[in-house]
């Protein structure tokens, strides 16, 4: 699915990428990774976690831009990502979503509502695959002229209008899905275009920027034999002229709108693609910015692949879920890993296995579901029970307990009454126990190991 990336003299950023957010303005940024279009084997994200020595809980995928079918109902992607997300509590999907297929739409039509139903369908399909809470990276890299939804050439207002229509359609169709929307240009977008393409605070959850270590001031590529202080001087020159000012610009813009930043795509680059090579300075500066609470970064995602338009991979993760790859950027990789060696893994929420009583459930009659939830920290959350068909996973009914304020280590019990309608068939059903952040944006716990028979 990776298309050839068109690049300009100023804006050379890969076409694909990114990953999972922290809840509201306080928690450390969520770490994600792009490991290629691994819809058939997202366990390659697990191999990246093994290399990093840190549980990476956000995986990224990108939609194709070839047909409406691959935008509305990309089940070939969503099924595998559902399996990965549901395999461990706290995981989340970051999804780059196309505004329309190449050559089969335009921003003006989108802004007028011509594609609303398409994105209502997408919202329902994401929920059908139990990918609530997905971060939607809608019309990603829109300031790049290689994208079908390019916002230049007088299309700024139409882009903003298209973004609003799609967000409204998806939220209207699935108001409880907890989708978050990332408004994500490239780092070198002008300040004027930032303002002109911004759809409004009501439609944006993250303000994202993609930024790779490629330099255009004459310092890159690093000449052979230029090491030590020679290389450092060139790395610093590119940072000071390109990347530092861009981060300041985005930080100021996000703060003026009260939004979290994201860095959905970033990575070192090989010299053959005008990169800084094994650039430890770039990695140090990026991580320092991302993890500085003053910058309010919700999530970041490293672009850990060897793309056709640039090499970026730091990890040992291979394409089969193993760890046999040898990076060409060993020093940058060591800096990246060392940063995570000093981080503690976020504590896990826990729950008992839900019980159903009476054990013999009759359709049309009430039964109770009971379980307990234990918090590792002081936090206000949503606790939810869902009753689903065990075979089709179709939702039958649910009950949410909102604004549940936990203290550290507190255990709380929840009992809810449910009824399986007589209009549904007899068979096996299941109880799902979920815990969300108070804004519904992040799944902290997901458990579905209670099944029962309804006669």
Q: Which residues are catalytic?
A: 141, 265
> For residue 195, which phi and psi values (nearest 5 degrees)?
-70, -40
CB contact set of 153 (below 8 Å; sequence gap of 6+): none
Classify the phi-psi angles of 141: left when phi > 0, otherwise alpha if psi is within -120 to 50, otherwise beta: left
Q: Which residues pair with 267 in a beta bridge?
A: 212
> For residue 421, which phi and psi values (nearest 5 degrees)?
-60, 150
Residue appearing with tokens 């940072």:
239
Q: Are 269 and 276 in contact (CB under 8 A)?
A: yes
Residue appearing with tokens 């298309």:
3
Q: How far apart are CA 322 and CA 81, in angstroms?
A: 19
Q: Are 184 and 262 in contact (CB under 8 A)?
A: yes
């Amino acid at each position: 699915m990776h298309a050839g990336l068109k690049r300009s003299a100023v804006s050379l950023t890969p076409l694909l990428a990114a990953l999972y957010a922290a809840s509201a303005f306080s928690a450390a940024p969520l770490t994600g990774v792009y490991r290629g279009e691994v819809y058939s084997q997202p366990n390659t994200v697990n191999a990246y976690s093994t290399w990093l020595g840190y549980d990476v809980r956000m995986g990224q995928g990108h939609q194709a831009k070839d047909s409406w079918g691959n935008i509305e109902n990309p089940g070939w992607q969503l099924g595998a990502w559902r399996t990965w997300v549901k395999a461990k509590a706290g995981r989340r999907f970051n999804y780059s979503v196309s505004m329309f297929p190449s050559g089969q739409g335009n921003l003006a039509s989108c802004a007028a509502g011509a594609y609303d139903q398409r994105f209502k369908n997408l919202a329902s399909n994401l929920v059908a695959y139990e990918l609530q809470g997905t971060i939607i990276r809608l019309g990603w890299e829109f300031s790049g002229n290689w994208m079908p939804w390019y916002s230049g050439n007088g299309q700024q207002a139409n882009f903003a209008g298209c973004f609003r229509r799609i967000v409204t359609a998806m939220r209207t169709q699935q108001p409880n899905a907890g989708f978050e929307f990332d408004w994500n240009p490239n780092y070198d977008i002008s300040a004027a275009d930032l303002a002109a393409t911004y759809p409004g605070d009501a439609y944006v959850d993250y303000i994202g920027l993609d930024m790779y270590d490629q330099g255009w001031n004459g310092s890159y590529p690093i000449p052979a034999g230029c090491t030590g202080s020679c290389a450092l001087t060139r790395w610093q020159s590119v940072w000071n002229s390109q990347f530092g000012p861009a981060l300041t610009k985005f930080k100021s813009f996000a703060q003026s709108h009260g939004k979290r930043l994201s860095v959905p795509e970033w990575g070192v680059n090989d010299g053959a693609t005008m990169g800084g090579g094994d650039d430890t300075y770039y990695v140090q500066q990026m991580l320092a910015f991302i993890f500085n609470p003053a910058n309010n970064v919700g999530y970041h995602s490293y672009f850990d692949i060897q793309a056709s338009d640039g090499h970026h991979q730091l990890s040992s993760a291979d394409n089969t879920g193993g760890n046999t790859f040898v990076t060409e950027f060993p020093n940058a990789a060591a800096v990246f890993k060392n940063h995570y060696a000093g981080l503690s893994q976020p504590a896990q929420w826990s729950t008992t296995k839900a019980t159903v009583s009476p054990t013999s459930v009759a359709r049309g009659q009430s039964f109770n579901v009971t379980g307990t939830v234990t918090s590792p920290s002081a936090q206000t959350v949503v606790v939810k029970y869902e009753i689903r068909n065990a075979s089709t996973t179709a939702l039958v009914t649910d009950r949410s307990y909102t604004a549940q304020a936990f203290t550290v280590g507190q255990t709380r019990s929840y009992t809810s009454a449910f009824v399986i309608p007589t209009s549904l068939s007899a068979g096996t059903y299941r109880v799902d126990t979920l815990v969300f952040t108070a804004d519904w944006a992040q799944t902290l716990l997901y458990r579905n190991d209670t099944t029962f028979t309804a006669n």
